[in-house]
């Protein structure tokens, strides 16, 4: 597969992943472009790996982590753009469900998720939005599957606690 074919096929999904990791549409586009620029230079060796998508996702997560470390302020707004991108439109439009209530619930959820530590947020995004298993997430984050499960458990516990406090 050529680099151009890869970007055409996976580019939108990579931007979506970056949006979920960063919480900002513009930062996500910049981050994805930066990662793809670095991947282009090494595409010959990346394309020879068994799973180039895992390699590129790892680059994206690591680039986001590096950006956070360089940033002087760790404040992240929960933008409507992020919420609308991540929102499961089918849940909002199901018969018997109030679209306003569903949107408000998703808004509240994303505010909670955006407040998680970056590794915990990355695990939740990769697990629930990218639908990856623990082994794939561990490969992307360069850690063990047990560490992935620990991050997920702690993130979900934190979300439950914060959800109870806000309701």
Residue 39 counted as domain residue: yes
Mean per-residue pLDDT over the chain, rounded: 81
86/17 Cα distance (integer angstroms): 10
Q: What is the pLDDT of residue 163?
A: 64
152/73 Cα distance (integer angstroms): 25
39/151 Cα distance (integer angstroms): 28
* Sole residue written with tokens 């895992």: 54
Residue 10 counted as domain residue: yes
Q: What does pTM read for this prediction?
A: 0.65
Residue 32 counted as domain residue: yes
For residue 67, is pLDDT > 70? no
Residue 25 counted as domain residue: yes
* Sole residue written with tokens 């470390």: 69
| SS3 per-residue string spanning the chain | CCHHHHHHHHHHHHHHHHHHHHCCHHHHHHHHHHHHHHHHHCHHHHHCCCCHHHHHHHHHHHHHHHHHHHCCCCCCCCCHHHHHHHCCHHHHCCCCCCHHHHHHHHHHHHHHHHCCCHHHHHHHHHHHHCCCCHHHHHHHHCCCHHHHHHHHHHHHHHHHHHHHHHC
Q: What is the pLDDT of residue 100?
A: 72
71: containing domain: 1-75
Number of domains comprising the chain: 1
CA 150 to the chain's CA centroid: 18
Residue 67 counted as domain residue: yes
Residue 82 counted as domain residue: no
Q: What is the pLDDT of residue 12?
A: 95
Q: What is the pLDDT of residue 129?
A: 83
**DSSP letters spanning 5-18:** HHHHHHHHHHHHHH
For the segment 96-149, what is each residue's pLDDT rounded down to a tens digit? 666 677 777 767 777 788 888 989 999 998 998 888 999 999 999 999 999 999
Residue 11 counted as domain residue: yes
CATH number at residue 30: 1.10.1740
Residue 118 counted as domain residue: no
For the segment 9-59, what is each residue's pLDDT rounded down to a tens digit? 999 999 999 998 888 889 999 999 999 999 999 999 999 988 999 999 999
């Amino acid at each position: 597969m050529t680099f151009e074919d890869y970007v055409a096929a996976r580019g939108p999904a990579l931007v979506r992943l970056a949006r979920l990791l960063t919480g900002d549409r513009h930062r996500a586009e910049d981050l994805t472009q930066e990662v793809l620029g670095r991947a282009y230079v090494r595409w010959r060796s990346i394309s020879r790996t068994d799973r180039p998508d895992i390699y590129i996702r790892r680059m994206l997560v690591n680039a986001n982590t590096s950006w956070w470390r360089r940033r002087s302020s760790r404040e992240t707004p929960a933008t409507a753009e992020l919420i609308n991108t991540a929102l499961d439109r089918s849940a909002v439009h199901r018969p018997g469900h109030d679209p306003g209530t569903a949107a408000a619930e998703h808004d509240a959820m994303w505010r909670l998720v955006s407040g998680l530590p970056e590794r915990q947020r990355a695990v939740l995004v990769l697990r629930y939005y990218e639908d990856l298993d623990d082994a794939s997430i561990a490969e992307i984050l360069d850690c063990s599957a047990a560490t992935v499960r620990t991050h997920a458990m702690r993130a979900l516990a934190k979300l439950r606690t914060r959800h109870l406090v806000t309701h």
